[in-house]
Structure 1
Amino acid sequence: MDHRVPPDEPARQGLSPDGEPASPPAGDSAPPPDAVGTVGEPFALPLPAGAATGAEWRLELPDGLRAAGETGASVSETADPSGATATSATGIPGAPVDSLPLVVADAEGAYRVVAHLIRPWDRTVLRTVTLSVAVR
């Protein structure tokens, strides 16, 4: 049985002939970044809310990005004209709203940030998210 890869196989797998990720065809545009920031100014990373069980987001920051705290977002109720209350952040009473991690960029560029939702007491990773970040 012949186990050689046909010449067009790497292209069908999204790879160049040397096995590297292929460039998108001309005319195709890359998806927009998950977050956009300005050099030297803190900006939030849009991570999904974690469970209300004490899990925390831990970031793997590439060179050029550094941690700058958290947004301090919290759930707060406001009354609308009808007298009903709603959560200001989501419009859903009781919906969890986590603070979002802030980062600062030291240089312009495109970055990839890997975030792990973990239980800090036993270091169990519950979820991993990769974000693309553009800094101008």
Structure 2
Amino acid sequence: MKVLVIGATGKIGRRVLKSLAKTHQVTALIRYPELQAEYEKMGARVLTVDVEKELDKGIHDATSGQDAVIIAATAGADGSSKEIELLDRNVAMKAIDAAKKNVSVTSSCSALMAPINRTLHQKNISTSCRQTMQPTSISNIAV
């Protein structure tokens, strides 16, 4: 199965990627080109995208040909409102629209407010929501 992990450099995304790379063809969408070699050593194909400048094209190119998309890009509980808007909302919504099927999202609860929460449920997107002091378990993410 071909799986795209968006946010692969975060705590959750990295664990998901490492686990999936053992048995699947995994692509990591990352923002930091200096991490490319590290993720290739884990067995992932790596796409580096500047999400502030190339989001539309980067997400479209990344989701093309994937069987599933896991969105683990999040600003986290301590993220600024700008980071939450960019990562938890914009990246997630662009990826959901581009992938159209087999999408799993993990995000901070505050970012999954309406309208994104309604959109996720209308499209039958699985979500894993974590409270500020309660990290999401990797076992809660549907692949």
Greater relative contact order (CA < 8 Å, ≥ 6 in sequence): 1
Indicate whether the TM-score tops 0.5.
no
**TM-score calculated relative to the size of structure 2:** 0.23
Richer in helix (by share): 2
